[in-house]
Amino acid sequence: MRTLGTQVRLRRLIRVHGEYMERLAAAPADGELAKLARTRLLQLTNDVRRSWRGDLAATGEDAPAESALMDRHVERSLKAVEAVLAEVARPAGDREWLRERFKDAALPLVFFLRGLEGAPAELVGDWLAPRRLAETA
């Protein structure tokens, strides 16, 4: 499955998040910067979501159940990212705690997408819909 576009947007989100966290650490009382950061990061998260939808649509309708399973996983991950980003604009929040929560939500998604990119379609299908033991024995 091709996920390169989604990976690029996700890596951009991670990089921009790190840059904003550094800027916020230098100016922790800057509420406007925090609001700007939250807005921009949520926009980038939506870019990731749109790219994923495009990648998923490009796979075709050969395996709708498997596609739905992958989509639910990506959507849960993006919801977790959004939950962390909602906290960014809170005044005097613990930025390091937020940084760790963001990494906990975003980095596994990077590895998931990279795994999909490198795996042949048949293998992904086997992972998501394993054959019965009688068929494989």
Does residue 133 form part of some domain?
A: no
- CA–CA separation, 2 and 51 (whole Å): 11
Segment 4-10 mean pLDDT: 95
Q: Would you say residue 60 lies in a domain?
A: yes
Asked, for residue 36, whether it belongs to a domain, the answer is yes
Number of domains in the chain: 1
Tell me the pLDDT band of 63, cut-offs 50, 70 and 90.
Answer: low
Residue 65 lies in a domain: yes
Residue 132 domain-assigned?
no
Q: Is residue 136 part of a domain?
A: no
Q: Per the domain annotation, does 41 fall within a domain?
A: yes
What the block records as the tokens of 108 is 């596994």
pTM as predicted = 0.84
Q: Domain range for residue 8?
A: 4-127
* Residue 137 located in a structural domain: no
